[in-house]
């Protein structure tokens, strides 16, 4: 056997080609000199002040606008309330028709999808024009709580 007849036991691997752009290797985008090449470098982020202002959140949190309303349609009220009942954010939360947000009852808006045949009393609820017409047609009343403007 001659030296030119020797073959390696392992398969040969092609060498890494550098500097061709894309994902071919180190500094393929030709970056890396200057400040980043010096020892002891510390790059302060340009948007450091913005980053520090972000709240440190963990996990999933539902995005809630501060003035968001919990929306309830007349169909649900027809199904879950009896004639003469009081409809307010508290009663809607008790019947689990709206979710309590951060330990408080959210503001509620009644929308006019569906029909209302029961005479209900609405308190502390915003009401759309179509819902107001349906409530008044059914003989219901709208009122604000005492002590609130």
Mind listing the domains of the chain with CATH numbers?
Answer: 69-143 (3.100.10.10)
- Cα 65 to Cα 55: distance, rounded to the nearest angstrom: 16
> Which long-range contacts does 127-132 make (Cβ < 8 Å, 24+ apart)?
131/74
- Give yes or no for a contact between 136 and 99, defined as CB atoms under 8 angstroms apart: no
**Structure-token pair, residue 58:** 């963990």
What lies within 8 Å, CB to CB, of 25 at 6+ separation is 16, 17, 18, 19
Question: What's the pLDDT score for residue 63?
Answer: 63
Go through the chain and tell me how many residues it has: 149
Angle at 27 between CA 25 and CA 32, to 5 degrees: 150
Confirm whether pTM is higher than 0.75. no
Instruction: Compute the average pLDDT of residues 13-19.
Output: 70
Q: Tell me the pLDDT tens digit for each residue of 36-77.
A: 778 887 777 777 777 777 777 666 666 666 677 899 999 999
- Give yes or no for a contact between 123 and 102, defined as CB atoms under 8 angstroms apart: no
Residue 143 per-residue DSSP state? E
Mean of per-residue pLDDT scores for the chain:
83
């Amino acid at each position: 056997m001659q030296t030119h007849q020797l073959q390696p036991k392992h398969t040969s691997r092609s060498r890494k080609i550098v500097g061709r752009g894309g994902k071919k290797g180190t500094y393929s985008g030709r970056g890396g000199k200057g400040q980043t090449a010096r020892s002891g470098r510390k790059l302060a982020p340009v948007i450091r002040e913005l980053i520090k202002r972000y709240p440190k959140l963990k996990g999933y949190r539902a995005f809630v606008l501060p003035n968001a309303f919990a929306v309830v349609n007349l169909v649900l009220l027809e199904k879950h309330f009896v004639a003469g009942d009081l409809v307010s954010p508290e009663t809607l939360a008790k019947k689990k028709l709206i979710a309590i947000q951060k330990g408080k009852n959210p503001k509620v808006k009644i929308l006019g999808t569906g029909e209302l045949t029961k005479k209900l009393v609405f308190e502390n609820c915003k009401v759309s024009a179509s819902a107001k017409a349906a409530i008044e047609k059914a003989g219901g009343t709208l009122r604000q709580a005492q002590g609130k403007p």
